[in-house]
A and B are shown apart, each in its own frame.
Chain A
Amino acid sequence: METGRRVLLHVGTPKTGTSYLQDVLFHNRETLAEQGVHYFADRFDAHFLAALDLMDLPWGGIEEEATGTWDALAEKVRAVENGTVIISHEILASASWQQAKHALDSLGDSEIHIMLSARDLARQIPAEWQENVKHRSVVTYSEFLEEIRDLDRAGRIGSWFWGVQELPDILDRWTQGIAPERVHLITVPPPGSPSTLLWERFSTAFGLDDLTIDFEGIDRGNPSLGVPEAALLREINLAVVPVLEPADYRPFVREFLAHRTLAKRRDSARLALSPSILPWVESLSESWVEALTGRGYDVVGGLEELLVPADLAGKPFVDPDTISSREVLDAGVATIEALLQEAIRLRKSEARLEDEVVELRAELEHTRSLVPKQRAREGLERRWWGRAVLRLYRLVRR
């Protein structure tokens, strides 16, 4: 017997606008709760941690903060009597059948809907390579393509890629008898579509259309890199990964260099699917669409959008493994410029902080000098003769 609690469990896939959706939900969680939609998160990455916990997945040390977070999240969900709860993280796509079962069981007697956002493989494959490079990898594009074409999927890259991208398999693992009309497949619109269309699809699928939502200050999410920028980042990884701890890599390389510096360069060539694997990807995409057709899922967008765009074959391909040094150098010079600007900003900040320290030290010294006087006065005020002395002192001072 189901309660009046509806759970929208968004299980993937990566690189489909999930960060933006999660940012909107997180920043509006209080307003949404007032409107009957709950997004239980005390920090932005709360559902990421819950996913790590569910899947016993170590992640550069951050897993230490994940212990028990899935069960804690599920407990909050079960405590809701009426309303909608949204859980969203793209790495849930890689959950095994048993892990998905544990997740579904933990949500109790909820009306569970499985939400899966998906984008065509022609864009997902290059995007996943970039994502690898933004996560300390030094794998070349051709090595990456070779790994994902390994039928055994024995390597780390191949097993992860298909775990989070193979749409029919993800849905097999997560639906587990859930009625098809409660499975919602949201497709990412093709290139050239209005920039708001993906959000409109999310909004429709998640039932957010008529709710009050504040979009002020929402980050547009995970920006992509151009080809020379991605090639440069891979070279940087070769140099810094051996010496930078993950905790330092995240803010300095991924956030500052990749997202805030290199991703801002929008004029360079975008990474595309290598022409050598185009026929294979076309055939694979067709087989997926065929497997999904007729399952009765609620498709928001269209299954045909998961096919490789017909015009891709004629487009130029710039290979990040063989790109000219000149282009990578340009990206490198831009990076040095950004680093210098950052160094100048930090130096100014350091100087300001030093001034503050000097001021605070002076104040501290002054306060310390007052302490003996204060103690003497308090001591005198406790005795009759002391009070008399104080009165005399004050008279004299006047």
Chain B
Amino acid sequence: MTAHLPGAEVLELLRRLNATGPVEPSRVEALLRTSPPGRGRRDLPLVGDTEIRTYGPLPVDPSTLSSRELLRAASVLLAEDLLDTAETVPVRRRWWPRRRTRSTKEQQSFPYRLVGSPWLTLPIREELERQGRLPGGDGYTVYVLGGPLDEVAAGAWKFRTFTNRVNPWHIWIRDAQWRGWFGPRADLPRIARWWADRVGKDRVEIVTDPALLPGLLGVDSLPGPWAISAEANEVARVIGQVLCVRTELEAQRKLLIDELRPRLEKLEPLHPGAREVGVPAESFAWVETQARAQRDALVEAGYALHGDPDRLLPSGTATQGPDERRALALALSLLAGRP
């Protein structure tokens, strides 16, 4: 066997990992056994390597490698760590335990189905089901939970980072603009129409103000979206790129949502500078046009509205994608076994 020097991207990742604190030799070996997955350059030679080749990638100074490349290099071991937990944690069919209870008074009084951007609705549905408030029931009302379209679109991307394979945010938003559509999870008129065709328009109601939702559902309060930054989404996304090949989709979702998400939530406060995912300035006008069209379609369709329909227009509160340096810092903490 010929001697092999690992690629600069793996060595630099290891150097950064060592800088976070003592690292077990087994972790070092595990990392050196990996290489960046999928497409993209790798096995990069080091500047100063004495082996001269007239071909292959140019030698690099590892300290100049981008955080994006290092995060990609980290993704295989991070995915393998999650897969290891799958072998010890019994697999549940659902993401959360569904408590079967007798029909409660609230359930009889407020039969519901909650739809819309899953990034917003999933935590609420989880909580309601934990309380025994299952969706459905006699004559249930369908609540379509909406919000500023830039946030709803970001939510569609964020949800996919934990549930499927998805492009980086800046490419996703660029492609959405090229396609002229954010996709089904951010198309509220389409969601409302789908339900209206099944249960009748009079049972579909649009909620643009989430503060009104507890009253509509007969509860005191409801949770907001998961406390996950843009960078944590990016970490989940790159791990998902590996998991989508290594395991089937349901297991991937379970690993990312049940195992990775709580760890990321604990890490968030340790790394200041968290960003929210936002639409870049160059796409804002297009998003605004889309949002006006959605608002007008919902108003013209005559659904009952809870909240000002102008709340569907973009908020512009965030205008950036993930900070790749912070995403790498989160990944290094995960690699180092923290928390």
Please provide the chain B residues from 52 to 79 with a CB less than 8 Å away from any CB of chain A in the complex: 53-58, 76
- Which of the candidate stretches A168-176, A258-266, A301-309 sits at the interface with the other chain? A168-176
Number of interface residues of A (CB under 8 A): 40
Contact check: which of A55, A163, A291 meets B37 at CB < 8 Å?
Answer: A55
Question: From B10, which residue of chain A is reached at the shortest CB distance?
Answer: A98
* Chain B contact surface mostly: loop
Indicate if the CB atoms of B245 and A53 lie closer than 8 Å: yes
Query: Which A residues touch B4, using CB under 8 A?
Result: 97, 101, 176
Query: Which A residues touch B39, using CB under 8 A?
Result: 57, 94, 156, 159-160
Indicate if the CB atoms of A169 and B248 lie closer than 8 Å: no
Q: How far is the CB of B3 from the nearest CB of chain A, in Å?
A: 10
Query: Which A residues touch B41, using CB under 8 A?
Result: 152-154, 158-159, 163
- Which of the candidate stretches B138-146, B172-180, B200-208 sits at the interface with the other chain? B172-180
Please provide the chain B residues from 1 to 19 with a CB less than 8 Å away from any CB of chain A in the complex: 1-2, 4, 6-7
Query: Which B residues touch A160, using CB under 8 A?
Result: 39
Q: How far is the CB of B152 from the nearest CB of chain A, in Å?
A: 20
Contact check: which of A56, A243, A287 meets B38 at CB < 8 Å?
Answer: A56
Indicate if the CB atoms of A57 and B37 lie closer than 8 Å: yes
- Which of the candidate stretches B28-36, B259-267, B282-290, B317-325 sits at the interface with the other chain? B28-36
Q: How far is the CB of A374 from the nearest CB of chain B, in Å?
A: 39
Indicate if the CB atoms of A58 and B54 lie closer than 8 Å: no
- How long is the Cα–Cα vector from A288 to B175 in the complex, in angstroms? 38
Asked whether A58 and B38 contact (CB < 8 A) given A96-B7, A168-B55, the answer is yes
Question: From A66, which residue of chain B is reached at the shortest CB distance?
Answer: B245
Contact check: which of B43, B54, B180, B241 meets A97 at CB < 8 Å?
Answer: B43
Question: From A288, which residue of chain B is reached at the shortest CB distance?
Answer: B55
Interface centre among B2, B54, B57, B244 (most CB of A within 10 A): B57
Per-residue 0/1 for A266-296: is the Cβ within 8 Å of any B Cβ (1 yes, 0 no)? 0000000000000000000001101100000
- How long is the Cα–Cα vector from A47 to B169 in the complex, in angstroms? 32
Contact check: which of A56, A154, A173 meets B245 at CB < 8 Å?
Answer: A56
Query: Which B residues touch A169, using CB under 8 A?
Result: 53, 55-56
A222 at the interface (CB under 8 A from B): no
Query: Which A residues touch B180, using CB under 8 A?
Result: 242
Indicate if the CB atoms of A173 and B43 lie closer than 8 Å: yes
A256 at the interface (CB under 8 A from B): no
Per-residue 0/1 for A100-136: is the Cβ within 8 Å of any B Cβ (1 yes, 0 no)? 0100000000000000000000000000000000000
- How long is the Cα–Cα vector from A109 to B122 in the complex, in angstroms? 51
Query: Which B residues touch A159, using CB under 8 A?
Result: 39-41
- How long is the Cα–Cα vector from A61 to B249 in the complex, in angstroms? 11
A162 at the interface (CB under 8 A from B): yes
Indicate if the CB atoms of A98 and B38 lie closer than 8 Å: no
A52 at the interface (CB under 8 A from B): yes
Interface centre among B4, B53, B241 (most CB of A within 10 A): B4
Query: Which A residues touch B165, using CB under 8 A?
Result: 58, 61
Question: From A154, which residue of chain B is reached at the shortest CB distance?
Answer: B41
Contact check: which of A98, A151, A153 meets B35 at CB < 8 Å?
Answer: A98
Question: From A97, which residue of chain B is reached at the shortest CB distance?
Answer: B43
B109 at the interface (CB under 8 A from A): no
Per-residue 0/1 for B189-201: is the Cβ within 8 Å of any A Cβ (1 yes, 0 no)? 0000000000000
Q: How far is the CB of B142 from the nearest CB of chain A, in Å?
A: 27
Query: Which B residues touch A372, using CB under 8 A?
Result: none
Contact check: which of B34, B58, B241, B242 meets A152 at CB < 8 Å?
Answer: B58
A99 at the interface (CB under 8 A from B): yes
Indicate if the CB atoms of A98 and B178 lie closer than 8 Å: no
A177 at the interface (CB under 8 A from B): yes
Contact check: which of A66, A96, A242 meets B36 at CB < 8 Å?
Answer: A96
A327 at the interface (CB under 8 A from B): no
- How long is the Cα–Cα vector from A166 to B54 in the complex, in angstroms? 11
A64 at the interface (CB under 8 A from B): yes
Contact check: which of B33, B175, B247 meets A98 at CB < 8 Å?
Answer: B33
B338 at the interface (CB under 8 A from A): no
Contact check: which of B36, B54, B76 meets A287 at CB < 8 Å?
Answer: B54
B271 at the interface (CB under 8 A from A): no
Indicate if the CB atoms of B247 and A67 lie closer than 8 Å: yes
Asked whether A56 and B178 contact (CB < 8 A) given A166-B56, A287-B54, the answer is no
Query: Which B residues touch A61, using CB under 8 A?
Result: 165
- How long is the Cα–Cα vector from A40 to B244 in the complex, in angstroms? 24
- How long is the Cα–Cα vector from A159 to B36 in the complex, in angstroms? 12
Question: From B69, which residue of chain A is reached at the shortest CB distance?
Answer: A154
Indicate if the CB atoms of A57 and B38 lie closer than 8 Å: yes
Query: Which A residues touch B7, using CB under 8 A?
Result: 96-97
- How long is the Cα–Cα vector from A61 to B38 in the complex, in angstroms? 13
Asked whether A156 and B245 contact (CB < 8 A) given A98-B33, A176-B1, the answer is no
Please provide the chain B residues from 262 to 302 with a CB less than 8 Å away from any CB of chain A in the complex: none
Q: How far is the CB of B177 from the nearest CB of chain A, in Å?
A: 9
Indicate if the CB atoms of B42 and A291 lie closer than 8 Å: no
Indicate if the CB atoms of B58 and A151 lie closer than 8 Å: yes
A23 at the interface (CB under 8 A from B): no
Indicate if the CB atoms of B35 and A97 lie closer than 8 Å: yes
Query: Which B residues touch A58, using CB under 8 A?
Result: 38, 165, 241, 244-245
Indicate if the CB atoms of A287 and B55 lie closer than 8 Å: yes
Q: How far is the CB of B73 from the nearest CB of chain A, in Å?
A: 11
Contacts beyond the supplied A67-B248, A156-B40, A159-B40: 12 A-B pairs with Cβ under 8 Å: A55-B38, A56-B245, A56-B246, A57-B38, A64-B244, A66-B245, A151-B58, A168-B53, A169-B56, A177-B1, A242-B178, A243-B179
Q: List 18 A-B contacts (CB under 8 A).
A: A52-B245, A55-B37, A56-B241, A58-B165, A58-B245, A63-B244, A63-B245, A97-B43, A101-B4, A151-B58, A153-B41, A153-B57, A153-B58, A162-B57, A163-B41, A172-B53, A177-B1, A242-B179
Hey, which bits of chain B sit against chain A, CB under 8 A?
1-2, 4, 6-7, 33-43, 53-58, 76, 165, 175, 178-180, 241-242, 244-249
The 4 A-B residue pairs with the shortest CB-CB distance in the complex, in nearest-first order: A56-B37, A242-B179, A96-B35, A159-B41
